[in-house]
Structure formats: structure tokens, C-alpha cells
Chains A and B, each alone.
Chain A
Amino acid sequence: MYDIKALYEAKSVEDAVRLLTDHPDAQIIAGGSDVLVQIRSGKRAGKELVSIYGLDEMRGVKMEEDGTIRIGSLTSFSHITQDPLIQKHINVLGEAVDMVGGPQIRAIGTIGGNTCNGVTSADSASTLFALDAIIEITGPNGVRTEPISSFYLSAGKVDLAHNEVQTAILIPKKSYSGYKGHYIKYGMRNAMEIATTGCSVNVRLSGDKKTIKDVRIAYGVAGPIPMRAHTAEKAAAGQPVCAETVDRFAAAVLEDVKPRDSWRAAKDFRLHLCTTMAKRALIEAIKKCGGEVL
């Protein structure tokens, strides 16, 4: 038995918003792989819960008319990885969320939950940053959208009012069309692990595959929230595909990242990881685009 004060099951998104408005102390619960564990540990014990897990309208991946890929916030990691639209257009996201926890965690964990809990180590977050994802939020006054970079406010805090629900994550066509990406997770073991650092790179090459037209790189656990390394992006954009560019790109990330010491890893080690991962992820992403770093 869980120490739950009361459970309210939402029948629709509007119902969830109403329930959250009526119960200002209630905790929203999606897949529960964080919330239930926190109840067990005592951290969120004795609370009222508003469950949105039953809202199938918030599940699944769709392509909208303008080419935007819409991922319902309750879509599980395993369903994202298996989804044909994801595999075809943003395979890097499917690969990244396939590194979360273990198989059963990927079956229950949702991409919405992964982003709403605001932690920097979320395996989906760096890739969503590198894809310039848009967060769709439904509240009492209707729907609003927010770029993922402004959705994350500070460690554990996102731009979501108590009576708002994150309903979808949108990937605009201009973010993925022509790009290929690669995600690297560094952890102490291969499964059931929280990233020491995670790095996601998206790159677009010129037609002859000799020039980097554009590159986006984002990190998890290189700061209190997931972040982009814009200095590195600028250093590589428009540059020839070669080892020198890759090295300059990897060195430039140090201008942007600010990891800290934690019991998981030392700051210096994380800085080393940041440059090494930038290099490896860019080389892999270039390969996936059909280019080669000589």
C-alpha cells in the first residue's frame, strides 16, 4: 500500500486541469516511476494524487500537416523507440530514451514525466534541447507553447503552474529535416543508471558532405539544467568537415558547460567527458549524415 491521502483519476485533460485547480496540494502523477518511489521514500508521502495515466489522448506520435512531429506527453520511452515516425525522422531521440533505466522502466516512464521533473540527467532532455523542441502546456486558459530552453527554469523546476499539464512535445520540421543526430550517455554501468553526463548532437551537412551547415549540441548534467553549448555550435557552423573542426568544436564546449562536483563524479572528470563526448558524438552524427571526418 502506498501512503496516499486520496486519488483522483482524470477523465480528460480538462478534467485534470479542473482537479488540479480544486486540489491545490495534489501531486500530478503520470507513469509514477518517480512519484511513487518518492512516496515510498516518504518524500511525497500522505499527499493527494491526480492521476493522468489513463488519458490515452495524450499518448502516441503523430505528424502534423506542417511536418511537426507531435509526441503525446504520456508516450512511454519504449513506444517512442519503437515508433516508425521517430525511427524515420528523429532516430536519435528513440536511441536516447532507450538508455533510460531498464526495460520495465522504459515501459512505464513517460517523456512528459522525464521533462516535467526538471532534472538535468533526464536522458530525453539533452536530445530535446538539441532538437529545439517545443513544449505544449494546457491550463485553465487553454493551450500555450514554450521552447524547451525556457521551460526549464532551475534544478528541479520547470515553467508549469500547479494547474497546468504538459500535453505534448513538438519537434518542428526545420529542427530535424536534413539533420542526423547521435546521443552518448556516460554512466558507471550499462543499465538502471542515471547519466554521469549525457551529450546529444544534431548536424546538417552541405550537399557534397564537405561542410558543416549547422550543428546543435546539448548536455545533461553539465549544469543544473540541461543546456546547449552555443559557443561550440558557432565554432563549427560553416566549417569544413575535418578533424581540426571537430577538435575546435570539442574545445569550445568548455566555454559553455559548467558541471559541478557531486558524489557521482568530480567536476574535472565531467569536463573531460564533455569534450570527449562532443567529439565522439559529432563524428558519429557526421557519419550518419553520410560524411566522413578525415
Chain B
Amino acid sequence: MSEQQYKMIHCWINGCERSAMIDVRASLTDMLRNDYRLTSVKKGCEVGECGACNVIIDGECFNSCIYLAVWAEGKHITTLEGLMGPNGELSDIQQAFVDETAIQCGFCSPGFILTAEEILERGKIYTDDELRKLLSGHLCRCTGYENILRAVKKTMYARNGKKMPKEQ
């Protein structure tokens, strides 16, 4: 690279208005981790396969590793840190991951939880098959997925004020 190229990027991160000079070669993962120290955004594959870097942008989930940081201009971004309460309390979906042992090493958890949050925000009840498809953009090498599915399902029923049907 002959000359470094920077750009002022202005956006909202976890509800706060932020701006910083960003290297145009940065991915959104690079920006969130290096410039804002949001280390819940993990670097797994860095080619859009594993979902570890997943964040919510304007209500939709994106793999931040294959998203240029400059594209974040004007966008509202949520990372896992944004789900936390003012005193560091866990949100319902995070607590469900703990309760259902949906976390082992935890590397996939931030990404999974944000996809779960996007699903839960829609306020709909999905079947197991639909949930599996909606969660299919994440790899977990530890849990075997069943506990993750159960955590999402449990929170989905709780948020909708419905009783979760007995598992067969």
C-alpha cells in the first residue's frame, strides 16, 4: 500500500453515538475490537463461515468480518455488550444460555446470542425446524447445538408469555 487511507466513520454502537478515524482496509470486526475494545466480537474464520463475529446492524444480523468498517457509516450496531443491563446484569437470553449449558468454551456464544436476539425481537413462535434454519449461520465445536436450541426456544416462549410444550 502506497499511502494509508483513513475515513471518519460516524455510527451508533450499543446506543451511543461514536465516531473515529478508521483505516479503510478494516473490517467491522477490526473496528469494533481495535477501536472500541468490544471483544465479544470474535475472530473465528474471518471469511463469513462461522458466525463468531456476528453483530446486529439496523435490526439485522451480519458477519462483521466480511463487512467493511466504512459501510458502518450512519448505522446502528449492537454487540453482545449492548444486551447487558446497567450494572452488568445478563439479559434473559444470556441467562438462558447459562441455565441450559449452551456455553462451553464460549467462543461461539456472542454470535449465537445476537442471532437469537434478532429472532426473539420478531415476537414470533417458531418451530424447531425453523429455529434450526434461523440459527444455521453459526458453528459451535463444543455443545452439539441441542442446548443452544433449547435456550433460544425457552426464551422465545417466555418472551411471548406462552408455556413451552413438553419435549418429545
Which stretch of A103-111, A229-237, A239-247 is in the interface?
A103-111
| Contact string against B for A residues 1-37, beta-carbon threshold 8 Å, 1 for contact and 0 otherwise | 1111111010000000000000000000100110011
In the assembly, what is the distance between CA of A169 and CA of B31, in Å?
Answer: 34
Q: Knowing A7-B24, A108-B66 are in contact, say whether A78-B60 is a contact too (CB < 8 A).
A: yes
In the assembly, what is the distance between CA of A105 and CA of B136, in Å?
Answer: 11
Contact B71 A104 (CB under 8 A): no
In the assembly, what is the distance between CA of A105 and CA of B2, in Å?
Answer: 32
Looking at the assembled complex, report how far the CB atom of A1 sits from the nearest CB atom of chain B, in whole angstroms: 5
Q: Knowing A3-B25, A7-B70 are in contact, say whether A104-B133 is a contact too (CB < 8 A).
A: no
Cβ 8 A contact of A191, one of B62, B66, B70, B136 = B136
Contact B5 A108 (CB under 8 A): no
CB of B83 within 8 Å of the partner chain? no
**27 A-B contact pairs sorted by A residue (CB < 8 Å):** A1-B23, A2-B25, A2-B27, A3-B25, A4-B1, A6-B24, A7-B5, A7-B70, A29-B68, A32-B68, A33-B48, A36-B66, A51-B68, A54-B73, A78-B60, A101-B48, A102-B136, A103-B115, A103-B136, A103-B137, A104-B51, A104-B54, A105-B48, A108-B63, A108-B67, A190-B133, A192-B136
In the assembly, what is the distance between CA of A7 and CA of B71, in Å?
Answer: 12
Q: What's the count of A-B pairs with C-beta under 8 Å? A: 89
Looking at the assembled complex, report how far the CB atom of A11 sits from the nearest CB atom of chain B, in whole angstroms: 12
Count of chain B residues near A, Cβ 8 A: 32
In the A-B complex, the 3 residue pairs with the smallest Cβ-Cβ separation, listed nearest first, are A102-B137, A191-B136, A7-B24
Which interface class (under 10, 10 to 19, 20 to 34, 35 or more) fits A? 20 to 34
CB of A186 within 8 Å of the partner chain? no
| Contact string against B for A residues 98-125, beta-carbon threshold 8 Å, 1 for contact and 0 otherwise | 0001111101100000000000000000
Looking at the assembled complex, report how far the CB atom of A10 sits from the nearest CB atom of chain B, in whole angstroms: 12
Contact B47 A40 (CB under 8 A): yes
- For B30, give the chain A residue with the smallest CB separation: A1
Residues from chain B with Cβ under 8 Å of A6 in the complex: 1, 5, 24
- For B54, give the chain A residue with the smallest CB separation: A104
- For B114, give the chain A residue with the smallest CB separation: A104
Contact A107 B30 (CB under 8 A): no
| Contact string against A for B residues 124-159, beta-carbon threshold 8 Å, 1 for contact and 0 otherwise | 000000001110111000000000000000000000
Q: Knowing A40-B46, A51-B70 are in contact, say whether A108-B62 is a contact too (CB < 8 A).
A: yes
Contact A1 B25 (CB under 8 A): yes
